[in-house]
Structure 1
């Protein structure tokens, strides 16, 4: 692989791991999705680092399920849809009006997509 392209994927993976790790401490910031994206970046540039993510004691199972079966656990589905629902309520209370339609549309499309993934 070309050095610049490999560096791009490594940097992207490191940034995504950083954001995912931040999600452990910041409420409503997801962790697993950023680790999934980081594993994809590392699998293109540094497979050993991707394997370290897949073997992570807490998140590795979810990453492997997504890699192998494109599956999301029921608990993960509920958490994602609940979080999106809270954002709809938050926008309704803060901005109101037609602004509420934006997170509602996201909930309808992305929530449906999440719920229809394998478990």
Structure 2
């Protein structure tokens, strides 16, 4: 039963992640990471097929693992985060919430830029 629930949840997160490619408000990466997790726990076949898919390669492998994100990829990422944080600020007029979301957005901006610009260290054996 647990395996079936994980497989079905994986299909739901995969569908939401794929919708996120076309709808800027849905975070593709988060849903694809959840899909990989759920299918890894439930089906070796689905997990292997997903890892080899072009969707996974483009949105997870290249951008997060290999840190090969383009300038426009960063612009899309930060624009989406900005919009997601802006919506509650516009709907709920609460100064403390607005300040908190602004601080969290700035931290996202700084830390994600640091992560993507950080050079990966070459192992000592390959330096020679």
Which interval holds the TM-score relative to the shorter structure?
0.5 to 0.7
* TM-score of the pair, normalised by structure 1: 0.68
The question of whether the paired residues in 2 share the 8 Å contact of 1:54 and 1:61 is answered with no
Q: Which residue of 1 aligns with 2:30?
A: 33
Q: Which residue of 2 aligns with 1:100?
A: 98
The question of whether the paired residues in 2 share the 8 Å contact of 1:42 and 1:49 is answered with yes
* TM-score of the pair, normalised by structure 2: 0.64
The question of whether the paired residues in 1 share the 8 Å contact of 2:28 and 2:59 is answered with no
Q: Which residue of 1 aligns with 2:121?
A: none
Distance 1:47 1:112, change over 3 A: farther
Residues 48-84 of structure 1 deviation map (CA, whole Å, 9 limit, x = unaligned): 21222223234423323467x3736244333221222
Distance 2:24 2:75 in 1: 16
Distance 2:89 2:43 in 1: 44
Q: Which residue of 2 aligns with 1:117?
A: 115
Structure 1 segment 1-119 matched on structure 2, within 5 A: 4=2, 6-65=3-62, 69=65, 71=67, 73-74=69-70, 75-98=72-95, 99-118=97-116
User: Does the residue aligned with 1:32 lie in a helix, a strand or coil?
Assistant: helix
Q: Structure 2: where are the runs of 5+ without partners?
A: 118-128
Distance 1:63 1:47 in 2: 19
